[in-house]
Chains A and B, each alone.
Chain A
């Protein structure tokens, strides 16, 4: 299973902040996001298995993925 945790406005849009998905094979983050109903372009930052990952990263079984909307530091 893959754990996907949505943060800030992303969780608000679905009313749920955590999803468990079964992946048959490695997939792009974009396809995972589409499956749970979040437009891929809404992702601004991804932390995969406690490390920063590019937005075009591949997600595999047992991964934990935190997705944040577009953010700027202030």
Chain B
């Protein structure tokens, strides 16, 4: 039986429910199932009827590497469809150890209160903490550590979430006290507008993770962890460069968003590359770090701490998407500028991708100069001061572009594109437009070593996106990091067996993908009922007409090709 904690923010009532129908579901399959069961598809995303669902993965709380990702679901204030965002951090694992598979946050506080949900061995309680109201994420985490101890796992929102800005994200504390983010889709606004500032999970003295076959699970998990640790992609690439490894490759293929997706190649890309980040972190020393884990157990260790010239930490973690959207997309020619903006946006509790897209649109409309950190910081300052312009940018790229009069707004289903121009990586154009998640690469990223599909070609893109949506969707259900896919996709029976030994399910190498397939079908059905699909299953018009240099590509896939991506 799945243990669900229901939190009503209107009545402040907390209730535990045991649900058999959610057995064998986890992560995205659990959060999306609950959203589909309980949320009216046409409801106002920032209203009382929407719900925020936080779900643990099927392997969460175990020794399996990279399996502690937490899933956050609800109706997105950006896409108006269903949304699932997931992230690392320690809260997922701790929630599982406390015996909770999901938390459903419903209603909306009628007072001006700022609430913290506390989950520990003694139970559950909602505490009013007005001193946290409108605090930035970094100060919030610091104060929550003081209140509840440094071993607590924390999920929280910054002022952007509390103010209901649609680009807001949910921050999660990691083992080093740094922040990770369930970034996409505005889930931070859904949480913040309900009056819930934070969730604190303390697993001290409790471990309720159960196993169908513990002995076999431990054997399989150790074997998987070893395979992952010995994967050269992990040890060579992620440990040294993190996700920033791909900057030069995306630039070389002409898909690196530059100056509001006007160009696909950035002349200063080398300055923003993984190699440069690695060199600077090593050279500057001090608080700089490479190869940090973002979960309690993780062999991948792609997180970093990026320091300034004196060795003092600027931000953790420097990632590809941040570099693409806050770097080349804004014309920034150095990592220090990106890191400083990244810190500010993290502190406000905004998604760096959405905000990077919104800033790009604003610069394109004359609200600053590309390549000028000062201009961008001034716009970010508007968000912090909660001015009308700041609220506009914090509400995301689409609203920013619509109000400022742009016809070049890089969004899919109302959500800002990730760091791949869809004209030069057409498979991602399919994912941005056709997937249930909108302009979100994590729904099915076609970048990578897929030697058989030309990223500029017009064939097989729909099928590629579909395959990836299923594969990554399945990992999302299990709570696994997508970078753990190497040994798992090489032999999917490992994935099936490990899940079976933990949950008591009976998947095999072929049926394990049903987790992803069934979830995608549910999500699409929700989006159809919400009026999002098929109406908004398309990209902005300019991408079909405006040639992207240096490849001169436009987005020219046929409708038939696009439809092949639907599960």
Give A contacts to B, CB under 8 Å: 7-9, 12, 44-45, 47, 50-52, 54-56, 66, 68-74
Contact of B245 among A54, A55, A71 (CB under 8 A): A71
Can you list the 9 inter-chain pairs with the closest CB atoms, starting with the nearest? A73-B447, A44-B449, A9-B236, A74-B243, A47-B252, A73-B445, A70-B449, A55-B451, A72-B448
Q: Is the interface of B mostly helix, strand, loop or mixed?
A: helix
Known: A52-B454, A52-B456. A71 touches B252 (CB 8 A): no
Q: Which residues of B contact A74 (CB under 8 A)?
A: 243, 246, 302, 319-321, 445, 482-483
Q: Are A8 and B274 in contact (CB-based, < 8 A)?
A: yes
| B435-492 residues at the A interface, CB under 8 angstroms | 441, 445, 447-449, 451-452, 454-456, 482-483, 485
CA–CA, A52 and B253, complex, Å: 6
Contact of A54 among B246, B248, B319, B451 (CB under 8 A): B451
Is B432 close to A, CB under 8 A?
no
CA–CA, A29 and B320, complex, Å: 28
Contact of B249 among A54, A55, A68 (CB under 8 A): A68
Q: Which residue of B lies closest to A42 (CB)?
A: B232
- Minimum CB–CB distance from B481 to chain A (whole Å) comes to 9
Is B23 close to A, CB under 8 A?
no
- Minimum CB–CB distance from A64 to chain B (whole Å) comes to 10
Give B contacts to A, CB under 8 Å: 232-233, 236-237, 240-241, 243, 245-246, 248-250, 252-254, 274-275, 302, 319-321, 420, 441, 445, 447-449, 451-452, 454-456, 482-483, 485, 550-551
- Minimum CB–CB distance from B420 to chain A (whole Å) comes to 7
Q: Which residues of A contact B447 (CB under 8 A)?
A: 71-73
Q: Which residues of B contact A9 (CB under 8 A)?
A: 232, 236-237, 240
- Minimum CB–CB distance from A4 to chain B (whole Å) comes to 13
Q: Which residues of B contact A45 (CB under 8 A)?
A: 249, 253, 448-449
- Minimum CB–CB distance from B428 to chain A (whole Å) comes to 8
Known: A47-B253, A54-B454. A71 touches B551 (CB 8 A): no
CA–CA, A7 and B245, complex, Å: 9
Q: Which residues of A contact B321 (CB under 8 A)?
A: 74
Contact of B485 among A7, A50, A72 (CB under 8 A): A72
Q: Are A73 and B254 in contact (CB-based, < 8 A)?
A: no
Q: Which residues of A contact B274 (CB under 8 A)?
A: 8
- Minimum CB–CB distance from B220 to chain A (whole Å) comes to 23
Q: Which residue of A lies closest to B246 (CB)?
A: A71
CA–CA, A9 and B233, complex, Å: 9
Q: Which residue of A lies closest to B551 (CB)?
A: A51
CA–CA, A50 and B264, complex, Å: 12
- Minimum CB–CB distance from A2 to chain B (whole Å) comes to 17
Q: Which residues of A contact B254 (CB under 8 A)?
A: 50-51
| Contacts A/B (CB < 8 Å), 8 sampled | A8-B236, A47-B249, A50-B254, A68-B252, A72-B482, A74-B320, A74-B321, A74-B482
CA–CA, A56 and B445, complex, Å: 23
Q: Which residues of B contact A70 (CB under 8 A)?
A: 233, 237, 448-449
Q: Are A69 and B236 in contact (CB-based, < 8 A)?
A: yes
Q: Are A72 and B449 in contact (CB-based, < 8 A)?
A: yes
Q: Which residues of B contact A56 (CB under 8 A)?
A: 451
Known: A72-B482, A73-B441. A8 touches B252 (CB 8 A): no
Q: Which residues of B contact A44 (CB under 8 A)?
A: 448-449
| Max count, chain B CB within 10 A of own CB: residue among A55, A66, A72 | A72
Known: A69-B237, A71-B237. A50 touches B248 (CB 8 A): no
CA–CA, A8 and B240, complex, Å: 9
Q: Are A54 and B243 in contact (CB-based, < 8 A)?
A: no
- Minimum CB–CB distance from A59 to chain B (whole Å) comes to 16
Q: Are A71 and B456 in contact (CB-based, < 8 A)?
A: no
- Minimum CB–CB distance from B9 to chain A (whole Å) comes to 33
Contact of A8 among B237, B320, B420, B455 (CB under 8 A): B237
Q: Which residues of B contact A71 (CB under 8 A)?
A: 233, 237, 245-246, 249, 447-449
Q: Which residues of B contact A12 (CB under 8 A)?
A: 236
Contact of B455 among A7, A52, A69, A72 (CB under 8 A): A52
Known: A8-B245, A44-B448, A70-B233. A50 touches B320 (CB 8 A): no
Q: Are A7 and B233 in contact (CB-based, < 8 A)?
A: no
Q: Which residues of B contact A52 (CB under 8 A)?
A: 253, 454-456
Q: Which residue of B lies closest to A74 (CB)?
A: B243
CA–CA, A8 and B249, complex, Å: 10
CA–CA, A73 and B232, complex, Å: 16
Q: Are B237 and A73 in contact (CB-based, < 8 A)?
A: no
Q: Which residue of B lies closest to A66 (CB)?
A: B252
Q: Are B550 and A50 in contact (CB-based, < 8 A)?
A: yes
Q: Are B456 and A51 in contact (CB-based, < 8 A)?
A: yes
Besides the contacts A45-B448, A71-B246, what 8 more A-B pairs have beta carbons closer than 8 Å?
Answer: A50-B252, A51-B456, A52-B454, A52-B455, A71-B447, A73-B250, A74-B319, A74-B482
- Minimum CB–CB distance from B42 to chain A (whole Å) comes to 34
Q: Which residue of B lies closest to A47 (CB)?
A: B252
Q: Are A73 and B241 in contact (CB-based, < 8 A)?
A: no
- Minimum CB–CB distance from B229 to chain A (whole Å) comes to 16
Q: Which residues of A contact B452 (CB under 8 A)?
A: 54
Known: A8-B237, A8-B275. A73 touches B253 (CB 8 A): no
